[in-house]
Amino acid sequence: MATKTIDVREYTVRAHKRQIHTRIFHFVCKECNQATKRETFGPRPLYCESCRPPQAPKKSVQESRKLKPHAMTYKSDIDLD
C-alpha cells in the first residue's frame, strides 16, 4: 500500500496533517471502455481521469460562516436630551 501525507484544511477540526493509505487500481473505464489505472484511497473507481464526471466546487470555510453583527451608530435630526 502506498502512503501519502495530506494537508487537511477545510474541515470543522483544526488544520493538521493526516497519513492516508492509497492503492493503485487497474480497471476498465465505464465511459470509454479502455483499460486504465488510477491511484485512490477510496473504493475502486469507475472512470478514468479524463472521463470522470465534474466535481462540485468546494465551498470556502469563510463563505459558509455567517458574519457577526456589528454595532452601528445612527444620526438623527431629533435631539432626545
pLDDT tens digits along 35-48: 999 998 888 899 99
pTM: 0.47
User: Over the chain, what is the mean pLDDT?
Assistant: 81
Q: Is 25 exposed, middle or buried (0-12, 13-18, 19+ CB in 10 A)?
A: middle
Which one has a higher pLDDT value, 58 or 64?
A: 58
Residues 17 and 6: beta-carbon distance below 8 Å: yes
| The three cell numbers locating residue 7 | 494537508
**Phi, psi (degrees; rounded to nearest 5) at 27:** -155, 170
For residues 15 and 17, what is the distance between their CA atoms, to the nearest angstrom?
Answer: 7
